[in-house]
Amino acid sequence: MNKIYDFDQVIDRRSTNSIKVDSLQDVFGRADLIPLWVADMDFLSPPEITEAMKIRVEHGVFGYVKTDEAYYSSIINWLKNKHEWAVDKKELSFIPGVVKGIAFAIDEFTNTDDKVIIQPPVYPPFKGTTKGLNRAVINNPLIFENGQYRMDFDNLREIAKLDCKILILCNPHNPGGRVWTKEELKELAEICYDNEILVISDEIHSDLALPGFKHTPFATVSEKAAQNCITLMAPSKTFNIAGIVSSFAVIENVEIRKRYFNYLDARQLGEGTIFGYLAAQYAYEYGEEWLNQAIAYIDNNVKFVDRYFKQNIPQIKAIIPEASFLIWLDCRDLNLAQPELESLFVEKAGLALNSGTFFGKEGKGFMRLNVGCPQSTLKKAMDNLKKAVVL
Ligand SMILES: Cc1ncc(COP(=O)(O)O)c(C=O)c1O
């Protein structure tokens, strides 16, 4: 009999320095909001990880650690079993975060003022790191059609001629939750390869494909993709261990790998910590059943929210995600300007969500809801929202 994990349990995260909870006052001006913003979950992480860390804590000596073979093999086996992706140990390196990994790639493979393509609405640090490093952001906005997003390949072909150096792909996409298909990724790979645009594929949400969808690693769709990309992954979203930091890069192409890994080596950025290695290894070795149950719970939360909107607040539509625990809400039928929309959620409903425009101006009229929480929390949030919209 499989162990049953309890995702209904409500855990008090206050005073743990959790950004999601303990930064409410600073960010929203109120500490009493229901936190449904920052992309981590309110669930206990798999106890198998916690137990392994407890044992290590009990040892009491925390000197320098080497990268264990078991760490590498846990990742290699996970990628093979979960994503049918055969990766060799030499293609792998620890990195201290996916966003940092993106910044390293921009730093190494572009010069100041070079152009980097992003596809908004998208996770804001794609733009932030690019601009922060004084590179130019070129937008290839996604097309919202029939209630879902798709990539604009015609526009990309035009932009690609502008001597762009990198495209940052969000695979699966945040927000919007698209699990890009093999065909879509193949077309993207073709355009980028032919125009010498290196693809940085952020696959941090890849393990969280919801029922009926299957993640495709960008590197696996064609030889053009495999030879022209850096893939960045992590167990952080998957197993709710973002605060531990245990991301990694996978690079098949020898030249790209040499440059990226040399960049890491020169700055000692490819070295992890005791708990980063340990948590990743135990997550990948022992976390699968927990993940299956977490995905089923999230899927049920998505359905709950969708049903609730349809029955009670039809002015707001849930864009059903194909992956992960974030729901992109189409609030345009409320006919509110963005500040009023934000105020409706915060001031009237007492809810902390990410505003759509946080992800680019293309997010106007949208809000992002995190459903990685007990359903009782969501129920309270939806009841608050219903009152706020109706009254
Ligand atoms: C698409 C995407 N990439 C990266 C991150 C953050 O990754 P890290 O904490 O490893 O930098 C997030 C977190 O929300 C994300 O949604």
Q: What is the pLDDT of residue 391?
A: 66
Signed CA dihedral, 147, 150, 152, 156: sign only:
positive
Q: What is the pLDDT of residue 254?
A: 98
Q: Is the pLDDT of residue 328 over 90?
A: yes
Question: CA distances (Å), 339 to each of 221, 231, 267, 352, in order?
Answer: 41, 36, 42, 14
Rg (CA), the chain: 21
Tokens representing 93 are: 């390196």
So what CATH class is 19-46+288-390? alpha beta
Q: Is the pLDDT of residue 317 over 70?
A: yes
pLDDT one-digit tens code per residue, 352-386 = 999 999 999 999 999 999 999 999 999 999 999 99
Q: Can you give the residue ranges of every domain in the chain?
A: 19-46+288-390, 62-286
Closest to 178 (Cα-Cα) out of 153, 214, 154: 214
CA of 338 to the centre of ligand 1 (A): 24
Pocket of ligand 1 (CB under 6 A): 39, 97-99, 123, 170, 174, 202, 204, 234, 236, 242, 247
Query: Rounded to an integer, what distance in angstroms lies between the CA atom of residue 187 and that of residue 225?
Result: 10
CA of 82 to the centre of ligand 1 (A): 20
CB-CB contact of 287 with 239 (8 Å): yes
- Ligand 1, pocket-test mutation among 237, 245, 273, most atoms within 8 A of CB: 237
Q: Is the pLDDT of residue 387 over 90?
A: yes
- Ligand 1, pocket-test mutation among 40, 99, 233, most atoms within 8 A of CB: 99
For ligand 1, atom 14, the nearest C-alpha belongs to 39
CATH fold group of domain 62-286: Aspartate Aminotransferase; domain 2 (3.40.640)
Residues of 39-57 as b/e, b for ≥16 C-beta within 10 angstroms?
A: bbbbbebbebbeebbeebe
Q: What is the pLDDT of residue 1?
A: 64
CA of 144 to the centre of ligand 1 (A): 23
pLDDT-derived band at 390, boundaries 50, 70, 90: confident
CA of 99 to the centre of ligand 1 (A): 6
Query: Rounded to an integer, what distance in angstroms lies between the CA atom of residue 388 and that of residue 83?
Result: 43
Could you list the beta-strand ranges (E) of the chain: 34-35, 92-95, 115-118, 136-139, 143-145, 148-150, 164-170, 198-202, 229-233, 247-250, 317-319, 326-330, 351-352, 354-355, 366-370
pLDDT one-digit tens code per residue, 124-181 = 999 999 999 999 999 999 999 999 999 999 999 999 999 999 999 999 999 999 999 9
